[in-house]
Chain A
């Protein structure tokens, strides 16, 4: 623990009591989203965002802490040089394959 940390004063059990239901609902929402993607008829797309989401879910359950920062890094562009021109104004939430830009 660094000297700047301000640990949550609640106990482990108090945290679970306070936030279990909220996070149970979030897991069900995530499951429902993946189920929804299974339902459309016709060929499924190989969307890079869904692939990134599945990779992120793997990090959630790998038993190692610092999950949020590690998922942020998984979803981040790791290049370091400015690009020549901006291809659009928005962002997509995961790094698209190079041949799609």
Chain B
């Protein structure tokens, strides 16, 4: 059974992870731009990163039959220096027409500061101007609830169609509001923070399977690139129908991502 991991940071993973994901049924991924675990010190550092996302990773993924797509931005963790963030943002349009770029992401908030919000608004304006999809990161832990509400207001104020925006990292206290306002929702499967596979399946049972997907967000931290197969196993253990499993882990990602002309996957 094939699946898509719509949020994973393969620049931080080994080629062996690509192999294991392919063996588990992964046929496509999307990789948002994110924080490297340290603050980059130059715009050219970001240019190199965007080149890695648009050129190097697609080739690495293709060796295992995985289609690689990406999203571009400066992550909210590096948005507090607003002058630097705007300099980095000026480089993004150089890469937006690359064939594997789906849109702007993962933008959003981290500590819910005024500068983070300004940089988020600038990204949303860029997405509006270029008519791209948007992938939104919501803050961690105690900051998630407040940040999710601020983000949804910012997206609405920017005049973007909620149906072209995915709000990621939803949990039990935010998923209802995200879906009620017409956005797509992403659940991230992490060992310690965000959702475990078990809680993600609980959320599906409570809030349904429309406009929602799950992802591993595998990166350099405590994470699991095979989290989606594990969540699929959890759904099987609970005897959920195969059609429901396929909808959440393949059909829904295809439905949202196909709104970008640059997305493709063998169906």
Contacts of A5 in B (CB 8 A): 205-208
In the complex, the answer to whether A77 meets B143 with C-beta atoms within 8 Å is yes
In the complex, the answer to whether A85 meets B142 with C-beta atoms within 8 Å is no
Contacts of B173 in A (CB 8 A): 69, 72-73, 76
From B80, B112, B139, B198, name the one whose CB has the most chain A CB atoms within 10 angstroms: B112
Contacts of B77 in A (CB 8 A): 89
Contacts of B68 in A (CB 8 A): none
What 20 additional pairs, Cβ within 8 angstroms, besides A75-B142, A83-B111? A4-B209, A5-B205, A5-B206, A6-B205, A10-B238, A69-B172, A76-B144, A76-B173, A77-B142, A77-B143, A77-B145, A80-B150, A82-B114, A82-B150, A85-B114, A86-B80, A86-B115, A88-B111, A91-B143, A92-B142
Among B114, B144, B146, B208, the residue within 8 A (CB) of A4 is B208
Report the count of interface residues on B (CB-CB < 8 A). Answer: 39
In the complex, the answer to whether B113 meets A89 with C-beta atoms within 8 Å is no
* B202 touches A (CB below 8 Å): yes
> Given the complex of chains A and B, what is the CA–CA distance between A88 and B111 in angstroms?
8
In the complex, the answer to whether B172 meets A4 with C-beta atoms within 8 Å is no
Among A8, A19, A95, the residue within 8 A (CB) of B205 is A8
> Given the complex of chains A and B, what is the CA–CA distance between A84 and B244 in angstroms?
44
In the complex, the answer to whether B80 meets A85 with C-beta atoms within 8 Å is yes
In the complex, the answer to whether A8 meets B238 with C-beta atoms within 8 Å is yes
* A21 touches B (CB below 8 Å): no
* B44 touches A (CB below 8 Å): no
Give 1 or 0 for each of A58-76: 1 = CB within 8 Å of chain B CB. 0000000000110011011
27 residue pairs of the A-B complex, CB under 8 angstroms, read: A4-B208, A5-B208, A6-B204, A6-B208, A6-B244, A9-B240, A10-B239, A68-B199, A69-B173, A75-B142, A76-B142, A76-B144, A77-B143, A79-B146, A83-B112, A83-B113, A83-B114, A84-B114, A85-B80, A86-B80, A86-B113, A86-B116, A89-B77, A89-B111, A91-B141, A92-B141, A94-B142
For residue A90, give the distance in angstroms from its CB to the closest CB of chain B: 7
Q: For chain B, residues 185 to 219, give those with C-beta under 8 angstroms from any C-beta of chain A.
A: 198-199, 202, 204-210
> B residues engaging A (CB < 8 A)?
35, 77, 80, 110-117, 139-146, 149-150, 171-173, 198-199, 202, 204-210, 237-240, 244
For residue A59, give the distance in angstroms from its CB to the closest CB of chain B: 13
Contacts of A88 in B (CB 8 A): 111
For residue A21, give the distance in angstroms from its CB to the closest CB of chain B: 14
Q: A4-B210, A76-B146 are in contact. Are A85 and B239 (CB under 8 A)?
A: no
Contacts of B238 in A (CB 8 A): 8-10
Among B113, B140, B146, the residue within 8 A (CB) of A78 is B146
Q: A89-B110, A90-B140 are in contact. Are A80 and B149 (CB under 8 A)?
A: yes
